[in-house]
Structure 1
Amino acid sequence: MRKPQYTKEKIIKESSILFNTKGYKTTSLSDITNATGFTKGAIYKHFENKDVLEMEAFENMFKQITKTLLLKIKKENNSKNKLFAILDFFETYITHPFIKGGCPILNVAIEFDNTNSPLKDKGRIGIKYLKDSVIKIITNGKKHNQIDPNLNEENFAILFIASIEGSIMMSNLNNNSKDINIVSNFLRKYIEEKIIL
């Protein structure tokens, strides 16, 4: 790997951890220089400003999540197990996060909830991606007679994602996985009893 590419990737990696643990607004350029070992000049050589770095860091974290989640979903051969794979992913994410600081989509949503920041738009895209993934699973499940045809896929997807993200927030606040486990177990039971044929 060429040195400029290595430098840029290291800046994104270290900044991602800072933004996702400390917050985007409270992470200073000095925090980033301390974490990376690079000067401000080196950082500005690769990123026009902190806003651009924030966007690229979020996109990098989002790509990591979607790539990992998609692989887990694709491994499964029926709708129930695909939905369970999503639950498994987020349950494990609480205890063994591969990105420090929790779910980047949730963190952006909370930090920028009352702003018009481009990062809020990125968070909105992230939630839409998760919702659309669940809708696709439900739609395909209906086609293959695995899921109740009367189920409203969009309503279910909203409840499913909101329950997961809310339980992640509660588990993070309480420093344990109890809340996400309770929600995950409830959703598993609901899926098996109410929507799977």
Structure 2
Amino acid sequence: MAGKAERTRQHIIEKAAPFFNKKGYADTSLSDITAATGLTKGAIYGNFENKDELALAVFSYNLDRLAGGMLLAMQQQENAVDQLLAMIRYYRGVYQQVSVQGGCPVMNAAVEADDNFPALKVKVKGAVKNWTRTIARTIDTGKKEGSIRSQTDSGAMATLLIALIEGGLMLAKLADDAGPLQVTLDRAEKIIRTELAK
């Protein structure tokens, strides 16, 4: 069971998460966070050294929620092709929730952190690297089990699938319409079924 300090810290992260994802890390103010949490500035800084530390914790929280759901969907499948298709279905299903919460936390943080927040950029790069590795390993497993063509470049295909997902999310957010995401996910699904699967 979590102690009071741990529960308070988690409460702050959960309440601050939508602000950081919607308004951005730079534009989210301490006043936004105190209003959302009902806590004083002193209580916030009693749990986090500074706004940057809170922002990093919020990014991890947002990422864990998104990636955790994707991994769970993939793990429920028996072969690599079905796991990759489950990833695509997951992003089809989660779009509305992601949209309401301000968009994909990876993309949002990547754009904002590029030159302004080096510690966040490191975390985002790590998240994308882990995602790429997860997809590439899934493809490698598929090659070994015989469900995926052996000549497939696992790393390149992982990069392509991520680009289709993230690009679709970005275009859908910009258009305020899921249509562009559905187009890119349709293409990703077709690639999995016709170029990867045996």
The TM-score range, normalised by the shorter chain, is: over 0.9
8 Å CA contact retained: 1:106, 1:165: yes
Q: Shift of the alpha carbon at 1:195? A: 1.5
Consecutive unaligned residues in structure 1, runs of 5 or more: none
Give 1:139-158 correspondences, 5 Å limit: 139-158=140-159
Identity %: 33
Residue 190 of structure 1 is matched in structure 2 by 191
Q: 1:98 and 1:13, CA in 2 relative to 1: closer, same or farther beyond 3 A?
A: farther
8 Å CA contact retained: 2:161, 2:188: yes
TM-score, length basis structure 1: 0.95
Q: 1:181 and 1:105, CA in 2 relative to 1: closer, same or farther beyond 3 A?
A: same
Residue 57 of structure 1 is matched in structure 2 by 58
Residue 89 of structure 2 is matched in structure 1 by 88
Q: Does 1:11 align with 2:12?
A: yes
TM-score, length basis structure 2: 0.94
8 Å CA contact retained: 1:94, 1:172: no
Secondary structure of 2:58's counterpart equals: helix
8 Å CA contact retained: 2:99, 2:173: no
More helix by share: 2
Q: Shift of the alpha carbon at 1:99? A: 7.7
Greater alpha carbon shift after TM alignment, 104-113 vs 1-10? 1-10
Secondary structure of 1:113's counterpart equals: helix
Give 1:1-197 correspondences, 5 Å limit: 1-97=2-98, 100-115=101-116, 117-197=118-198
Consecutive unaligned residues in structure 2, runs of 5 or more: none
Aligned residues: 197
Question: Runs of 4+ in structure 1 displaced over 3 angstroms?
Answer: none
Instruction: Give the RMSD, CA atoms, in angstroms.
Output: 1.5
